Amino acid sequence: MPSEFGSFQDEIYADRLPQSRVDLFPQEAGIVGLAVARKGGIGLALDDGRVAVGDLAAPAELVPVEVHDGVSLSFAPGPQGGFVSGGDDGRAALIGGDGKITELVAPGKEWVGAVTTSAASCLIALGTAKTLRVFDAAGKALGAAPPAGSTIAALAFNPKGKRIAVAHYGGVTLWWSGGLTGTPKPLNWKGSHIAATWSPDGRFVVTGTQDKELHGWRVEDEVDMRMSGYSAKVKSFAWSADERWLACAGSPSVTCWDFSGKGPMGRPPHQFGGSEEYLATHVASHPKLPIVAAAFEDGRIEMGRFGVEGQVLLKEVGGGLPTGLAWSPDGGKLVMSTEDGELFIVDLDDLKVAASPKKR
């Protein structure tokens, strides 16, 4: 999409060049999940079932703890600190920043394939096969919904943490989270929905589908929308700090949809970065600035500004397939993990951009 503004490279290199530095912290095993806690700790789900936790300021000193007899399938920051992990052994656990484990679900036959948490309501939601379960921040079980018609693939809280979007085959079901009482609201669309996100203003629910598309609903009137053209299944979303844009991986370039006004219907997306050969696997929006970072299959990390042409390279090719990408809560550090067990931290303490991009 042509931009009415100058390029992002011009803006960021003119007088605000970030003093970026990339540091590598190899781990003892491959990394399948990455999360940065809301208070700044870091957690890594390792491919041998352990979870390594510690301080983001001391990434060489992470402490691994035994959690799963298998591998973690779902991993997220806890609602009040720490991390939540669900595994193929059926166990789900809350892991404190000090490594203390609080068991949510004992090991069993139903794998835990979906986890999400809400800092606003201090709740944890799990998808154990076809069953939605909700817990408080201390790990107390609050309720379980009747089994869905198919396996739960993804979960997303609304901004207040009062509702949960449950993605499955055939669409999404919206539940009220407090005890899972009340009548659920179905949002139907054909096919398998494998990822889900709820817009920060609460107006839209968007899913990634098995058919390499996005599907979205405006919650107030259930008007739905379809966004196609992806090269792979979209599993990584990121909303901009100003709540206007939704950035998505799944293509050689990063695709950003404008959800201002009536939404993205009829508008072309803004795209930046990448190459024809390697896809973006993960995206992460800066917590305060109008920029988004993307990790690619070849190990590169690029950064762009929503609605502005161009990108800057933060990390060169190499390091293995990315498995996670996240900013620190203050936006001073960007963290990427890989399946080869490498943890890269990009230090961007000097990063600044103008509130409004420069016009031509």
pLDDT of the residue at 8: 66
Mean pLDDT, to the nearest integer, of 25-29? 85
Of the candidate ranges 98-107, 133-142, 347-356, the one whose mean pLDDT is the lowest: 347-356
Tell me: the pLDDT tens digits for 57-74? Answer: 899 899 999 999 999 999
Query: What is d(CA 190, CA 3) in angstroms, rounded to the nearest whole number?
Result: 35
Q: What confidence tier does 21 reach under pLDDT thresholds 50, 70, 90?
A: low
Tell me: the pLDDT tens digits for 254-311? Answer: 999 999 988 888 889 999 887 778 999 999 999 999 999 999 999 999 999 998 888 8
In this structure, are residues 152 and 127 in contact, taking their beta carbons and an 8 Å threshold?
Answer: yes
How is residue 28 written in tokens? 């003892």
Of the two residues 258 and 15, the one the predictor is more confident about is 258
pLDDT of the residue at 178: 76
pLDDT of the residue at 12: 59
In this structure, are residues 81 and 95 in contact, taking their beta carbons and an 8 Å threshold?
Answer: no
pLDDT of the residue at 27: 85
Mean pLDDT, to the nearest integer, of 342-360? 71
Query: What is d(CA 283, CA 266) in angstroms, rounded to the nearest whole number?
Result: 24
> What pTM, to 2 d.p., does this model score?
0.91
Can you name the residues that pair with 171 across neighbouring β-strands?
Answer: 168, 188
Q: Is the pLDDT of residue 354 over 70?
A: no
pLDDT of the residue at 360: 40
pLDDT of the residue at 25: 80
pLDDT of the residue at 118: 97
How is residue 217 written in tokens? 């609903």
Q: Is the pLDDT of residue 325 over 60?
A: yes
Quote the distance between the C-alpha of residue 176 and its chain's center. 22
Query: What is d(CA 236, CA 247) in angstroms, rounded to the nearest whole number?
Result: 8
Q: Is the pLDDT of residue 317 over 70?
A: yes
Query: What is d(CA 318, CA 168) in angstroms, rounded to the nearest whole number?
Result: 35
Q: Is the pLDDT of residue 37 over 60?
A: yes
Mean pLDDT, to the nearest integer, of 97-103? 95
Query: What is d(CA 113, CA 108) in angstroms, rounded to the nearest whole number?
Result: 13
Tell me: the pLDDT tens digits for 195-252? Answer: 999 999 999 999 999 999 999 999 999 999 999 889 999 999 999 999 999 999 999 9
pLDDT of the residue at 3: 47
Ordered by start, the domain boundaries in the chain are 1-28+238-355
pLDDT of the residue at 229: 85
Tell me: the pLDDT tens digits for 117-175? Answer: 999 999 999 999 999 999 999 999 999 999 988 999 999 999 999 999 999 999 999 99
What is the helix (H) or strand (E) element at residue 9, kind and residue range? helix 8-14
pLDDT of the residue at 350: 66
Query: What is d(CA 12, CA 351) in angstroms, rounded to the nearest whole number?
Result: 9
pLDDT of the residue at 122: 96
Q: Is the pLDDT of residue 4 over 50?
A: no
In Å, the largest CA–CA distance within the chain is 60
Query: Mean of the per-residue pLDDT values for the chain?
Result: 90
Q: Is the pLDDT of residue 332 over 60?
A: yes
Return the CATH superfamily for domain 1-28+238-355.
YVTN repeat-like/Quinoprotein amine dehydrogenase (2.130.10.10)
In this structure, are residues 127 and 173 in contact, taking their beta carbons and an 8 Å threshold?
Answer: no
